[in-house]
């Protein structure tokens, strides 16, 4: 099998608490041909020190002021050269050391694919797994990302799908959602990997929590591009509930299937069931922090 270059794009600003796990999750990948392109927005915490500590040929970083996350992501993309592109926020990680091997193999098996995606583990500040977001095996423009529970850390692209078509610089919260909607409308070829590929960290400094009003407003505007009819809303509800229930099976067998890039705390079976069926991830985080468990 050929070894195409994989570019992992990471944007960061004052995220030193999470950045090290992000760097290690890329560095520990078993796939050998990877470049990690980090655009730091001029952090004043320990982020630059971390980037200097982990300096190696495969890590290319730059710390300079930018105009927000989308602008930083576009700058990182312009500095990258991989045929396959991943977008991994500084507070997220690849879940398994084999993630990029699985991704490259999926693209190699089907040259028509523009996008591959997989399941994502939602985690807390202390790397405890809250739930698994299970992704169904199909993804069509008739349903849209509002219906299928795709999460950005678990989505990977061929470069040809991004050139001239990537995120909008003026968006600060919904850039991933809006971009996926545009890809759907172009009828891009997509495929699923039936593995947990990444972690999505829920932590109190997330923009969506710190600036909730702006977040809601921007997402509301973007969602008008998706399915808004009754059929779309019903499909969204059914798929969301199915994802939560089917995710139980992924959660129960998680520890037997994973070779994690960084230590993850997997709760007992009873707690896994409760967390997987909870309706609000943010509520679970608040509960754990209140009891000193996050």
Task: State whether residue 12 is helix, strand or coil.
Answer: strand
**Confidence (pLDDT) at 28:** 97
- According to DSSP, residue 166 is labeled S
Could you state, in chain order, the average pLDDT of each consecutive group of 10 residues for the chain (294 residues)? 91 94 97 98 96 95 94 96 97 96 97 94 88 80 58 95 89 84 83 94 62 56 55 66 75 78 87 76 55 50
Q: What CA–CA distance (Å, rounded) separates 73 from 145?
A: 21
Report pTM: 0.85
**Confidence (pLDDT) at 138:** 75
Q: What CA–CA distance (Å, rounded) separates 49 from 40?
A: 12
| In a domain? residue 182 | yes
- According to DSSP, residue 96 is labeled B
**Confidence (pLDDT) at 209:** 46
**Confidence (pLDDT) at 76:** 97
H-assigned helices in the chain? 16-27, 47-53, 69-79, 99-109, 175-185, 207-210, 212-223, 230-252, 254-257, 269-277, 281-290
- DSSP letter string over 211-240? THHHHHHHHHHHHTTS--SHHHHHHHHHHH
Task: State whether residue 115 is helix, strand or coil.
Answer: strand
CATH number (domain holding residue 130) = 3.90.550.10
| In a domain? residue 1 | no
| In a domain? residue 263 | yes
Residues in the chain: 294
**Confidence (pLDDT) at 98:** 97
**Confidence (pLDDT) at 210:** 44
| In a domain? residue 49 | yes
**Confidence (pLDDT) at 249:** 76
Task: Give the number of domains in the chain.
Answer: 1
| In a domain? residue 140 | yes
| In a domain? residue 141 | yes
Tell me the residue range of the domain where 40 lies: 6-290
**Confidence (pLDDT) at 212:** 47
């Amino acid at each position: 099998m050929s070894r195409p270059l994989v570019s992992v794009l990471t944007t960061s600003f004052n995220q030193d608490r999470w950045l090290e796990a992000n760097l290690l999750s890329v560095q520990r990948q078993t796939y050998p041909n990877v470049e990690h392109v980090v655009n730091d927005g001029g952090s004043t915490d320990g982020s630059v020190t971390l980037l200097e500590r982990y300096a190696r040929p495969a890590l290319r970083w730059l710390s300079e002021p930018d105009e927000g996350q989308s602008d930083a992501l576009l700058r990182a993309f312009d500095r990258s050269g991989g045929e396959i592109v991943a977008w991994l926020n500084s507070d997220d990680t690849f879940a398994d050391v084999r993630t990029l091997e699985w991704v490259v193999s999926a693209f190699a098996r089907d040259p028509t694919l523009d996008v591959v995606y997989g399941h994502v583990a939602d985690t807390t500040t202390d790397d405890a797994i809250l739930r698994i977001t299970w992704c169904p095996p199909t993804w069509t423009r008739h349903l849209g990302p509002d219906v299928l529970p795709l999460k950005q850390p678990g989505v990977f692209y061929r470069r040809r799908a991004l050139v001239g078509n990537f995120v909008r610089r003026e968006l600060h919260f919904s850039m991933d959602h809006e971009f996926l909607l545009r890809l759907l409308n172009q009828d891009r070829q997509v495929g699923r990997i039936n593995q947990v590929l990444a972690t999505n960290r829920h932590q109190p400094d997330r923009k969506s929590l710190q600036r909730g009003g702006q977040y809601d407003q921007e997402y509301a505007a973007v969602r008008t591009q998706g399915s808004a009819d009754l059929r779309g809303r019903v499909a969204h509800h059914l798929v969301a509930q199915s994802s939560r229930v089917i995710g139980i099976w992924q959660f129960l067998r998680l520890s037997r299937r994973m070779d994690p890039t960084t230590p993850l705390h997997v709760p007992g079976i009873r707690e896994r069931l409760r967390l997987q069926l909870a309706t609000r991830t943010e509520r679970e985080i608040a509960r754990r922090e209140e009891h000193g468990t996050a």
